Structure 1
Amino acid sequence: MTVWWLLLAVFSTSWALTSVLRRYALMKSLMDIPNDRSSHSIPTPRGGGVAIVVSFLLALPVLAGLNLISASALYGVFGSSLLVALIGFADDHGHIAARWRLLGHFIAAGWALFWLNGLPPIDFFGVILDLGLFGNILGMVYLVWMLNLYNFMDGIDGLASAEAISVCLGMGLVYWVSGSNELAWMPLILAGAVAGFLCWNFPPARIFMGDAGSGFLGMALGGLAIQAAENSPEMLWSWMIMLGIFIVDATWTLFQRLLRGDKVYEAHRSHGYQHATDRLNGHALVTLGVVIINACYLLPLALLVGNGWLNGAFGALLAYFPLMVLAWKLNAGVPAFR
């Protein structure tokens, strides 16, 4: 019962703090001004993701005190995601050169892997691969890509929030069905923190998340996936499946832009979800569509994989192939002409 009160407290804190941050952003003119690469048309306060960071991180020591998460999970997820949030916060309020941001991101990823005991052996089509040092390097690249792709995908109202909530709740169900209840508490608390913010961010958004929030979510979700993989190799695949829409859209777009010879470090407006927003003439339909795909298609596959009824790598192929076709159909990676 204590945990459910904690969940309510996290939601309430996030909701209230977002309101405070919105007033602060309006007072200090911390606004996201629309340009030709934006998906919104009116100036909107930014930086509301700090509410997610604060409400989630304050809850983690409580979970540890209740013996619901291990000390290593606390230190790994708390330290790495806090560092990413601080880098994003500083970048939101000024500018940090890309090379220093990237260095900070890799330090955060290394911290997470140190406390989470590195990347565990991976089940690849029935073959257990223990990649050792290379696996830890791969794990760092995975975490850095996760936090950056989450930043890339935070481009329309409610999308990054709805993705985080649906993924966390979906993985909570995977844990419950598979009998791994002890892993469910951090995703549920994170979902509660994001839900409080989403009340202000659902279309039409009254405040944006900002880099502090989006990078934090990418690192936190990636860290939770690594933590789960140590318990069961199948769980890493379940997380990868549930995060499929963001992973496929961001990765497909990146490679398409590389093939086109575009400067991939420059801001752009060519993700699949952005093209979908133009075609549907609204943010809400795309955001709700992502939730529906997560719940109706990706979650059943994640459940099958998490319970050992379907090979993880094969399940990921089943999940990603239709999403790749969708990215191709939406011209992901091709500039939008407005």
Structure 2
Amino acid sequence: MSVQLILAPLLAFIVAYFLILWQVNSPTALKVLDYPNPRSLHRKPIPRTGGVGIIAGILAAWLWLATAIPLALWASIGLLAIISFIDDVKTLPVLQRLLVHASVAMAFAIWQIYPSYGGALTFVAGLAILWMTNLYNFMDGSDGLAGGMALIGFGCYGLGAWLMGDDLLAAINFCIMAAAAAFLLFNFYPARIFMGDVGSIPLGFLAAVLGIWGWMQAVWSLWFPFLVFSPFIADATVTLAKRAWRGERIWQAHRAHYYQRLVQSGLGHRDTALLGYAVMLIASGSALWSVRQDAATQLWLVGIWMGIYFITMVIFDYFQRNRSGNGQNDCN
């Protein structure tokens, strides 16, 4: 194992840990508070600047690998982090944020995809990057969940790249994993700090573009990153599709995601996070197993996981409706 696979992640952890520690404990730290709203599952104001520590840790560690990381990736993360931090401090209009996210996603897709695959796949990839960028933000609403998913997801990316002999891609992802681990020490229930948009938006972008990067470098198939982050993808996509079908404004704050409903049903933040970790570990493990399998096997594996998510959601919806109906009858 090369030195960069050890030292770069260690640097990411140290920088992220001490910066977040300062944000949590120091009275002089910039504390942008997350006040409870209709989407929130917390009941008191909590700082939401933890993502500053995550991104600072990642970028500091990437300096160790600077000559090998494309300038477009540095620029994209920097722009997304800046606009997201501004949004954390002073809420920006949805269309304004979405325009920046879309511009960054499409620019990266054009740089990465267009030269080899042309316009159609470039457009699809840009939309996928845009969706994953925002999807991760949607799923950042329960103590320890998004941070733990980042630790597991990017750790799986790193392990997959290392197993396939790509030490650079492995190191890049292990740095993200290490910064997420430092954040999780302060974010697991009961959370003392949230990552905010400045953390969730760049992490969602990285989940998409590093997955594409691995595919472009023939490290893994496109099914691999999809499987790794499939718990987040399934929850957010199905929830937003259902809200759109009902004619609701999908950009408005809500508590309809499955993980939010699990917390509200009595499972709580801690156990919801642990359940999420277990599902993602199993999904990531199956993705790692599939790396060396043929395309047909990988496709079958994706189909099995989609069936598992669909059946689980249908059963959960059924029992929650039944429970609600019984409650109403009891009240009557």
TM-score by length of 2: 0.88
Q: Aligned pair in 2 of structure 1 residues 245, 195: CA closer, same or farther (>3 Å)? A: same
Structure 1 position 92, deviation (Å): 0.5
Which whole-Å CA distance do the structure 1 matches of 2:25 and 2:32 have between them?
Answer: 10
How far the C-alpha of 1:5 sits from its partner, in A, is: 2.3
Deviations 1:296-323 (A, max 9, x none): 2x12321233113453333222222212
Q: 1:91 to 1:231 in 2, by over 3 A?
A: same
Q: Does 1:99 align with 2:95?
A: yes
What residue is the counterpart of 1:52 in the other structure? 54
The structural deviation recorded for 1:326 is 2.2
> Aligned partners of 2:21 and 2:87: how far apart in 1?
21
Tell me how far apart the structure 2 counterparts of residues 49 and 164 of structure 1 sit (CA, whole Å): 12
Change (3 A) 1:146 1:119: farther
Partner in structure 2 of residue 159 of structure 1: 145
Unaligned stretches of 5+ residues in structure 2: 328-332
Q: 1:26 and 1:211, CA in 2 relative to 1: closer, same or farther beyond 3 A?
A: farther
Comparing 183-192 and 165-174, the one that deviates more: 165-174
Q: Secondary structure at the match of 1:137?
A: helix
Out of 97, 105, 109, the residue aligned to residue 105 of structure 2 is: 109
Partner of 2:23: 21
Give the superposition deviation at 1:205.
0.3
User: Percent of pairs identical after alignment?
Assistant: 31
| 1:299-310 correspondence runs (5 A) | 299-309=284-294
CA distance in 2, matches of 1:313, 1:105: 30
In 1, the alpha carbon distance for the partners of 2:7 and 2:223 equals: 31
Inter-CA distance 28–10: structure 2 relative to 1 (3 Å threshold): closer
- Name the structure 2 match of 1:124: none
Distance 1:139 1:302, change over 3 A: same
Q: Structure 1 residues 59, 111: closer, same or farther in 2, change over 3 A?
A: farther
Question: Which whole-Å CA distance do the structure 1 matches of 2:66 and 2:300 have between them?
Answer: 35
1:207 aligns with 2:196: no
Cα RMSD for the two superposed structures: 2.6
Q: String of CA shifts for 1:145-189, please: whole Å, max 9, x gaps.
A: 001110000000010010011011222232333344442111111
Rounded Cα–Cα distance in structure 1 between residues aligned with 2:53 and 2:307: 35
- Unmatched tracts of structure 1, length 5 or more: 121-129
Correspondence list, 1:100-179, <5 A: 100-118=96-114, 132-179=118-165
1:231 to partner: Cα distance: 1.6
TM-score (norm 1): 0.87
Contact 2:50/2:193 (<8 A) preserved: yes
Q: CA deviation at 1:135?
A: 0.7
Structure 1 residues 54 and 276, CA, compared in 2 at 3 Å: closer, same or farther?
same
Q: In structure 2, give the amino acid aligned to 1:302.
A: A
